[in-house]
Homo-oligomer: A and B are copies of this chain.
Amino acid sequence: MAPTPAEQAAIEKAISEVRQIPPRTTIIEAGRPLRHSALIVEGLVCRTISDRDGLRQFVGLHLPGDFVDLHSFVLQNLEHDIASVTQARIAIVPHIGMDALVADVALARKLWFSTLLDAAMHRAWLFRLGRLDAMGRMAHFLCETNARLRAVGLSDGRRFTLDLTQNDLAEICGVTSIHMNRILRQLREENLATMRSSLVEIIHPGRLAARGQFDGSYLYLDSPDLPEG
């Protein structure tokens, strides 16, 4: 479902501007009506829902190449926040331009597909939060992220950089940052993965996937399997 070069060109033509976003900046606040969508050129962007104390739950994490809020084109507004994690560059695509894009039925179908992939990822995250313990959640998240980064050439299948603090990871996995710290130590001690200052190394991809009960088929990547280990 990758766009053809022509489709890619059409999307790029619909970009009205590219914005530079500082790290840790709210890009879109929940509830505001939107007249454009955003495509990540560079950096990490997160989608979060905050509880009444302002504590956040990540409901998505987006990498370069992802449409962050394509759904806002159809829904008109968002029920969650979008914020940069790292420094980021995002391309703005006005909804008016999107209207022209979806006139092309094939492209419309691909955009729909892209939002359905997001939904599939949401479901995998639900499984993670609902059925796994803290260590399983982290293992699952690392496997997913490794697979996604690999698909865009940002991981070699074992090592990648991921600019997330332990607090971010905690907000992803629905645990406290203190507990996340202990989980990371455990992953290290059990020789599954290490994570030091944004460098992640997966020592035993197979065992990590088993620990997190990870099956990446929902990502629809044609990723070559890693050797067991």
Contacts and interface: CB of A to CB of B under 8 A. Distances in A.
A75 B108 contact: no
Contacts of A123: 47, 49, 59-60, 79-80, 122
Interface string A89-114: 00000000000001101001100110
15 contacts: A31-B217, A49-B127, A49-B131, A59-B127, A71-B120, A74-B109, A74-B112, A74-B113, A79-B217, A79-B218, A80-B123, A112-B115, A118-B119, A129-B130, A131-B174
Interface stretch (A14-22, A50-58, A199-207): A50-58
Given A51-B127, A57-B131, A122-B126, 13 more contacts: A49-B127, A57-B126, A58-B130, A74-B116, A75-B116, A79-B120, A79-B217, A115-B116, A118-B119, A122-B122, A125-B126, A129-B174, A130-B173
With most chain B CB atoms within 10 A of its CB, the pick from A119, A124, A125 is A119
